[in-house]
Amino acid sequence: MRIPFIAGNWKMFKTVQEAVVFTKELRSIMRDVSDVEIVVAPTFTAVHAVAEALRNANIGVAAQDVYWEREGAFTGEISAGMIKEAGAEYVIVGHSERRRLFGETDRTVNRKIVAAIGAGLTPIVCVGETLEERERGETPAVLDRQIKDGLDTLTADQVAELVIAYEPVWAIGTGQNATAAQAEESHLHIRQRLGQWFGGNAADHCHVIYGGSVKPDNIAELVREPDVDGALVGGASLDVRAFAEIVTRSRPSAI
Question: Catalytic positions, please?
Answer: 95, 167
Q: Are 183 and 166 in contact (CB under 8 A)?
A: yes
Residue 127: φ, ψ to 5°: -135, 160
Q: Which residues, in sequence order, are CB contacts of 174 under 8 Å at separation 6+? A: 213
Round to the nearest angstrom and report the end-to-end CA distance of the chain.
16
- Angle at which helices 106-118 and 139-150 cross, to 10°: 40
H or E segment at 41?
Answer: strand 37-41
**Distance of alpha carbon 109 from its chain centroid, rounded?**
14
CA distances from 233 to 9, 69, 93, 204, 230 (A): 6, 28, 15, 23, 9
DSSP string over 61-93: EEES--BSSSSSS-TT--BHHHHHHHT-SEEEE
